[in-house]
Amino acid sequence: MIEIAANNPTLKSWVVVPEDSDFPIQNLPFGIFERKRHKSAGVAIGEMVLDLADLQSHGFLDDTGLPDKVFEKETLNAFLALGRKTGRRVRNKISELLREGNAALKNHHNINSLLIPQQEVKMCMPVRVGDYTDFYSSEQHAYNVGCMFRDPDNALLPNWKHIPVGYHGRTSSVIASGVPIRRPKGQQRPDDNKPPVFGPCKLLDFELEMAFITCGENPLGESISTEKAEDYIFGMVLLNDWSARDIQKWEYVPLGPFLAKNFASSVSPWVVTMDALEPFRISGPQQNPKVLPYLEYGGKKHFDINLEAAIKPEGSEEKAVTNSNFKYMYWNMAQQLAHHTVNGCNIKTGDLYGSGTISGSEPGQFGSMLEISWKGTKPVPMPDGSERKFILDGDTVIMRGYAEKSGVRVGFGEVSTKVLPAL
């Protein structure tokens, strides 16, 4: 594990941080916020956001080697392109400025415009996503789906333990938390003996996922090893990879996901850096059969991050429907990126890589309604007396995630999306 000054669990900030906050001084995630119709990069601390464009213009980041006005942008791409080492230097500097005992920023005459309540800003897409890939890397999820659609004895397809299976998604419909979605319409074939029908999706589902965002590029034709992969991963967000199960079932043969997946994918606004997640590394599952050499890796490359998904029916209180964990991944991010580039495919700054639905081994840990309601056979009771097999119009799906150790909680905030009726 690398020593990172900003991760010291004894650090405290002069900014008030509520005890259960996702954003203590040990986190310092980066995002893009909008205020008075103006976008800027910011860092979350407690219930506040620190305006990085202002911070830089006042000279507080002068010794970090940043280009001028790198935060006066509508996305974090220019900053991410500077790489992980620059990101670390900036995060360490911000940590110093926010530390108890350091009055330089605290007593600045413009502190009230530098440090703004999160309530007063709107959070936006943190990056301009160039390419979006979604993996399928949780064994329990792949097993559950295989049981439902094939049979328990052959739940995993023969390639699953040899290849981090994935597909290329669509970026135009990757949206920020808070942006509502319309129920998608499309072809379905509810009766295998009758022709397909067209209409609003009836089996709308969420997928509880995390995603990593890349920094830097590899030249086309060259691959990235598992050893070097983490140099290209800046940080992570929560991802709700919306899915239309009935459309999916009819369309996915033989080329895989298409319209069932590309109508919306929602991400949380704060990019939690891999540096902040460093203390939460854990060992992954033993991989058997042995993987091919290019997928072998050393060290702890999995992460212990608690995940939750909740449904809030219109006008009612929310109910948590699952509690999973990012540690239930079979393939880790380094393996995913090594596999993605092994054929020479190039990655770019700001690409988004979804984990795939993350399910634990117990029913209370499944990462989609497809699994939670077991294809609709086990409805979930809601606080307002209704029940859910899949997501209904007016429902808001909220995902949250946090890691916790040594009294420090590093959280992601939430990704929240309301479903509106089909047009």
Instruction: List 418's β-bridge partners, or say none.
Output: 396
* Phi (first) and psi of residue 242, to 5 degrees: -50, 140
x/- mask, Mn ion, residues 125-154, rule CB under 5 A, reads ---------x--------------------
Active site residue 141: yes
Query: CA 321, CA 401: separation in Å to the nearest integer?
Result: 14
| Closest distance to Mn ion from the beta carbon of 132 (Å) | 10
Give which of 122, 112, 95 is closest to 40, Cα–Cα.
Answer: 122
| Residue (207 or 371) nearer to Mn ion, CB | 207
| Closest distance to Mn ion from the beta carbon of 30 (Å) | 24
| Residue (136 or 234) nearer to Mn ion, CB | 136
| Residue (207 or 308) nearer to Mn ion, CB | 207
DSSP secondary structure code for residue 171 in this structure: S
Question: Do the beta carbons of residue 232 and residue 337 sit within 8 Å?
Answer: yes
DSSP 3-state assignment of 275?
A: helix
| Closest distance to Mn ion from the beta carbon of 133 (Å) | 10
Query: CA 250, CA 196: separation in Å to the nearest integer?
Result: 8
What size, in residues, is the chain?
423
Burial of 221 (0-12, 13-18, 19+ CB in 10 A): exposed
Q: How many residues bind Mn ion (CB under 5 A)?
A: 3
Query: CA 184, CA 161: separation in Å to the nearest integer?
Result: 33
| Closest distance to Mn ion from the beta carbon of 140 (Å) | 14
Give which of 198, 188, 285 is closest to 246, Cα–Cα.
Answer: 188
| Closest distance to Mn ion from the beta carbon of 189 (Å) | 22
x/- mask, Mn ion, residues 198-237, rule CB under 5 A, reads ---------x------------------------------
| Residue (4 or 163) nearer to Mn ion, CB | 163
Query: CA 128, CA 74: separation in Å to the nearest integer?
Result: 9
* Largest pairwise CA distance in the chain: 73
Among 22, 54, 205, 241, binds Mn ion (CB under 5 A): 241
| Closest distance to Mn ion from the beta carbon of 409 (Å) | 27
* Whole-Å CA distances, 53 to 50, 72, 146, 229: 9, 5, 49, 29
| Residue (145 or 233) nearer to Mn ion, CB | 145
| Residue (51 or 134) nearer to Mn ion, CB | 134
Query: CA 146, CA 370: separation in Å to the nearest integer?
Result: 12
By beta carbon distance, the residue nearest Mn ion is 241
| Closest distance to Mn ion from the beta carbon of 202 (Å) | 19
Exposure b/e, 80-110, CB count within 10 A at least 16 = b: bbbebebbbbbbbbbbebbbeeeeebbebee
Angle at alpha carbon of residue 132, lines to 186 and 319, rounded to 5°: 65
Query: CA 63, CA 119: separation in Å to the nearest integer?
Result: 31
Using CB under 5 A as the binding rule, whether residue 22 contacts Mn ion is answered as: no
- Tell me which of 108, 141, 302, 340 is the catalytic residue: 141
| Residue (134 or 351) nearer to Mn ion, CB | 134
Binding piece for Mn ion, criterion CB under 5 A, among 99-107, 217-225, 240-248, 392-400: 240-248
Active site residues: 141
Q: Which residues bind to Mn ion, rule: CB under 5 A?
A: 134, 207, 241
